[in-house]
Amino acid sequence: MVRSFRDLEVWQLGLDLVQSVYQCTAAFPKSETFGLAAQMRGAAVSIPSNIAEGQARNSTKEFLRFLSYALGSLAELETQLELATRLEYGSGEVGCALAQVSLLGKKLHCLQKSIRHRLVKRPTSNQSPATSN
């Protein structure tokens, strides 16, 4: 049973991704400290932050909305990682982070689908998916 956002696998994977992005961007050229590296870190931090905020709202519809924001930040980060690859920044670490992005994206989409399915089954429920097991 999910009692907190901390219990969500997608939140945990999001934190792992943030850590990878910080490690990856540490190897970027100093000229990117306030450019691409900062944008990537911001997008990465936004992912687990939106998951946590959405789950804490105690509303299934709100949680879905914040999962959508997390997916938007994930797409932003994926684009930035692809750009870093083209610019040949961070080489191996970027590839690892891209693999994490792919896994997290799949899991977030599955979570959204599961929550939407529960909404269809119980359209009058405004209870949080974390408390409705």
Range of the domain at 86: 5-121
pLDDT at 41: 98
8-state DSSP, 28? S
| Residue 110 within a domain | yes
pLDDT at 81: 97
Instruction: Report mean pLDDT in 10-residue bins for the chain, 133 residues.
Output: 89 98 94 95 98 94 97 98 92 90 98 92 57 44
pLDDT at 7: 95
* Contact between residue 128 and residue 57 where contact means Cβ atoms under 8 Å apart: yes
| Residue 133 within a domain | no
Domain at 103, CATH number:
1.20.1440.60
- Can you give the pTM of this predicted structure? 0.87
For the chain, what is the domain count?
1
| Residue 130 within a domain | no
* Contact between residue 46 and residue 73 where contact means Cβ atoms under 8 Å apart: yes
pLDDT at 133: 38
Cα–Cα distance, 84 to 23 (Å, whole number): 14
| Residue 127 within a domain | no
Enumerate residues 6+ apart whose C-beta is below 8 A from 65. 54
